[in-house]
Amino acid sequence: MAAANQIFIAIIGAGGVGKCFLSQLQTLATRRPSPKLTLCYISTSKRAVFSDDYSEISIDTALDSLAASSKTPPELSQVIEYLASAPAKTVLVDNTSSQEVADKYPLALSRGVSIVTPNKKAFSGPYQLWKDIFIAATASGAKVYHESSVGAGLPVISTLKDLVDTGDKVTRIEGVFSGTMSFLFNSFAPTEGQGGKWSDEVKKAKALGYTEPDPRDDLNGLDVARKLTILARLAGLPVESPTAFPVQSLIPRELETCISGDEFLEKLPAFDTQMEETKAAAEKAGKVIRFVGSIDVVSNAVKVGLQEFDRSHPIAALKGSDNIISFYTERYGSNPLIIQGAGAGGDVTAMGVTADLIKVVSQFP
Amino acid sequence: MAAANQIFIAIIGAGGVGKCFLSQLQTLATRRPSPKLTLCYISTSKRAVFSDDYSEISIDTALDSLAASSKTPPELSQVIEYLASAPAKTVLVDNTSSQEVADKYPLALSRGVSIVTPNKKAFSGPYQLWKDIFIAATASGAKVYHESSVGAGLPVISTLKDLVDTGDKVTRIEGVFSGTMSFLFNSFAPTEGQGGKWSDEVKKAKALGYTEPDPRDDLNGLDVARKLTILARLAGLPVESPTAFPVQSLIPRELETCISGDEFLEKLPAFDTQMEETKAAAEKAGKVIRFVGSIDVVSNAVKVGLQEFDRSHPIAALKGSDNIISFYTERYGSNPLIIQGAGAGGDVTAMGVTADLIKVVSQFP
């Protein structure tokens, strides 16, 4: 049975971000006893924990309960029905990167289930899905927040929304949107010193856990393209999909047909010369190369790829796997509003999700 | 009479920020007809417009109505009573920098009147006032938002709150918190070239409108100390007041007794050598001087003053009158979360106020 001041939380996904989120949720629930956040559902792709009477699942031991559960997760539409029938407001926390889950957002929202998520797929997929999501939310009053879909916990989405909502005109957005690409180019083409071979840097990044299990999923530029699609749409451009604008892939054409990431990594050294030449050409002009994305709102031009920067440019001077995002607007004039910091990692990504959850909950009567 | 979905707005102050806010409020009210934002009160220190039946004041022509009004503003406690008795939720927008208005926040909040404001005084005055404000808000459920009290519209307060609320440990905050000081030192001690005489730069800044009418109000460091007081308190330090920690004043001791800003500016050139020597000492070490503030949360140390930075340091490389604020936290590790951009100006300050208003309104049932 639901208390007067209770909110039900359902979580899908218990990977890197999901585990960090659980830990933050536990802290939050302890610190803010009201409204009471009651975990009533948690699942991975294989297992689920829930009960028909919405009994509280201890956040402390949720992962253990999940490991011990013999239940398989129900169909998503059944999960949504379960949440929509709960005796209080519900928030679905999608900590996956699953397109299948994203596709169900319009259904969840239309049934009054709010959503917070770092999942990029929902907001960077077909434009029709984007429209369906926000139409459903407006109609039901359910909330949908996705700060961590761009730049992890950095306040990127909220800042862009504030700019737009208060009537500023965003003219241009540019920056480094991938922690992986940031790390790779800060090491391969540092502002001081030489940097290693391209293929060695890719291998190092993979070994350090900075890339996806298959590094091609970073090098193809699609991750950055997805983030730009989200920001462009928030800035008012009806971008059709993340493949609707020029995206430079760093996978050599000859290696596009590799059947595995391992095969790709093995053959990559043969193509180091290509990247070395691009780097040398920039160096000749006193510059360094970086993998950036830009949205020119005025001319409706979105693009992703390599670009040369002066060594003193903030984009060149990034460290580690930091992101940097510059918003050029009418009000801010020639000096952009800049946000910089770690744009990947379980804890900072989960932070964006938790902060979103706090915002959603604060809007419940 | 109030419609079901109506919110009353009262505005105190119609100076630089107040005028920009009115223009943004007009755009907002047009774009988002629901809930209906009804302006029912506006005043300056000399005039006021309002009626006993809470009739709507046209936002379009509010400044003209104010200029034509023969009403003087009632006592603040009467204004609060008037708002508390309105037939719908009310938000008081304080666009002044008045301590007198700030002192009434606890009363307004305790009577259920929410507050949005760029006014630093309420949050950087005596610690008791800070406590009274948040105790009153918690008790009544009224909201109080003050993004623009630090860094104008830059997402500084909201980011710090998100970090703290989600359980991160903020260890250190540092940066350039004054647009005036930023402009002065970027011109006086640029990373490239020579820069002018200190007294000339101060005069230029005043001529360009970058300083307060009396430049000593910037040079005494108190504005920066107030901002640090606010951030330190949000980070959990019970700072007693903006004079409770070391603040370096750039007003030469001999000029502290000047009776006017004009007399001060006239006598300042005689003290250029002092600043020139400080600058030269930094240059000898290959560095530049900047006026910065820092909060060491761990050791509970807050300070404001001149500091030397490498020319390549982001604080040294600032442009124009930009602010930069770095948050060092447990989650973000050695690379801080950085926010940078214009930290002063009517439009960007008003943007923070308008964005706060949107957030407050979204939390009304």
> Which pLDDT value is given to residue A1?
46
pLDDT at residue B4, as a whole number: 61
Residue A212 has a pLDDT of 85
Burial track B314-348 (b if 16+ CB lie within 10 A, e otherwise): bbbbbeebbbbbbbbbebbeebbbbbbbbbbbbbb
CA torsion, points B29, B30, B31, B36, in degrees to nearest 10? 40
Q: Are strands B36-43 and B6-12 parallel, antiparallel or unpaired?
A: parallel
Assess if residue B160 is contained within a domain: yes
Amino acid at A22: L
Tell me the residue type at A105.
Y
* Residue A126 placed within a domain: yes
User: Of A104, A121, A143, A227, which one is the catalytic site residue?
Assistant: A227
Task: Say if residue B192 is in the same domain as residue B287.
Answer: yes
Do A128 and A184 reside in the same domain of the chain? no
Q: Which residue type is seen at B333? A: G
Residue A102 lies in a domain: yes
Segments in chain B below pLDDT 50: 1
Kindly report the number of other CB atoms within 10 A of residue A362's CB atom: 12
Residues of chain A neighbouring B338 (CB-CB closer than 8 A): 338-341
Nearest CA in chain B to A163: B351
A146 and A34 share a domain?
Answer: yes
Q: How many CB atoms lie within 10 A of CB A16?
A: 15
Q: Residue A326: which of B338, B332, B163 has the closest Cα?
A: B338
In a domain, B1, yes or no: no
Closest partner residue to B28 among A167, A339, A354, by Cβ?
A167
- Same domain, yes or no, for A131 and A186? no
**Burial class of residue A299 in the structure, from the number of CB atoms within 10 Å of its CB (0-12 exposed, 13-18 middle, 19+ buried):** exposed
pLDDT at B1: 47
Number of domains in chain B: 2
Q: Is the minimum CB–CB distance between A347 and chain B shorter than 8 Å?
A: yes
pLDDT of residue B211: 87
Q: Is B317 on the interface with A (CB under 8 A)?
A: yes
Q: Taking a contact as any Cβ pair under 8 Å apart, which residues of chain A between 148 and 177 contact chain B?
A: 153-155, 158-159, 162-163, 165-168
Q: Residue A60: which CATH number?
A: 3.40.50.720
| Nearest Cα residue to B162 out of A71, A22, A343, A24 | A24
The reply to whether A203 belongs to the active site is no
A52–B contact, CB cutoff 8 A: no
pTM over 0.90: yes
- In this complex, which of B24, B165, B319 lies closest to A167 when CB atoms are compared? B24
Please give the DSSP secondary-structure letter assigned to residue B56. Answer: P
Inter-chain touch A314–B317, beta carbons under 8 Å:
yes
Extract the tokens encoding A274.
Answer: 């290509």
Q: Provide the pLDDT for residue B365.
A: 81
Instruction: Please indicate, yes or no, whether residues A243 and A332 belong to a single structural domain of this protein.
Output: yes
Contact B363 A358 (CB under 8 A): no
Q: What is the mean pLDDT of each successive set of 10 residues along chain A, which is 365 residues long? A: 78 96 96 93 97 96 97 97 97 97 98 98 97 98 97 97 97 97 96 93 91 91 97 98 97 94 95 96 96 98 97 90 97 96 94 98 91
* Whether residues A133 and A177 fall in one domain: no
CATH of the domain at B305: 3.30.360.10
B351 Cβ under 8 Å from any chain A Cβ: yes
Establish if A1 belongs to a structural domain. no
| Cα–Cα nearest to A90, from A98, A100, A80, A99 | A80
Strands B144-145 and B114-116: parallel
CB A215 within 8 A of CB A206: yes
Q: Is A120 annotated as a binding residue?
A: yes
Q: Tell whether A261 is in a known binding site.
A: no
Give chain A positions within 8 Å (CB) of B358: 162, 165-166
Q: Which of B295, B154, B179, B235 is nearest to A155 (CA)?
A: B154
- B167–A24 C-beta distance less than 8 A: yes
In a domain, B332, yes or no: yes
Give a yes or no: residue B318 inside a domain. yes
Phi and psi (nearest 5°) for B222?
-70, -35
One domain, residues A192 and A300: yes
Coil, strand or helix at A322: strand
Among the partner residues A317, A319, A335, nearest to B320 by beta-carbon distance: A335
Q: What part of B 221-260 touches A (C-beta under 8 Å)?
A: none
A chain contacts of residue B27, beta-carbon cutoff 8 Å: 166-167
| Residue contacts between A and B (CB atoms, under 8 Å) | 124
DSSP label at residue B201: H
pLDDT of residue B209: 84
195-214 of A, contacting B, C-beta below 8 A: none
For residues A298 and A353, state if they share a domain: no
Alpha-carbon gap: A54 to the closest alpha carbon of chain B (Å): 25
- Based on the fold, state whether residues A50 and A142 are members of the same structural domain: yes
Chain B contact for A335 (CB, 8 A cutoff) = yes
Closest A-chain CA to B168: A351
Asked if residue B277 and residue B140 are part of one domain, the reply reads no
Residues A330 and A198 in one domain: yes
How far does A270 lie from chain B, in Å, by closest CA?
A: 34
Whether A321 maps to a domain, the answer reads yes
Residue A312: which domain range?
156-342
Which of A144, A162, A169 is the best residue to mutate to test the B interface, defined by the most B CB atoms within 10 Å of its own CB? Answer: A162
Q: Is A16 annotated as a binding residue?
A: yes
- Whether A194 has its CB under 8 Å from any CB of chain B: the answer is no
To probe the interface with B, which of A32, A147, A166 has the most B CB atoms within 10 Å? A166
Determine, for residues B333 and A342 on separate chains, whether the beta-carbon distance falls below 8 Å. yes
The ipTM is 0.95
Residues B243 and B199 in one domain: yes
> CB-based contact (8 Å) between B310 and chain A?
no
CB atoms within 10 A of CB B311: 16
Q: Is B346 at the interface with chain A, CB within 8 A?
A: no
B252 Cβ neighbours under 8 A, 6+ residues apart: B268, B271, B274
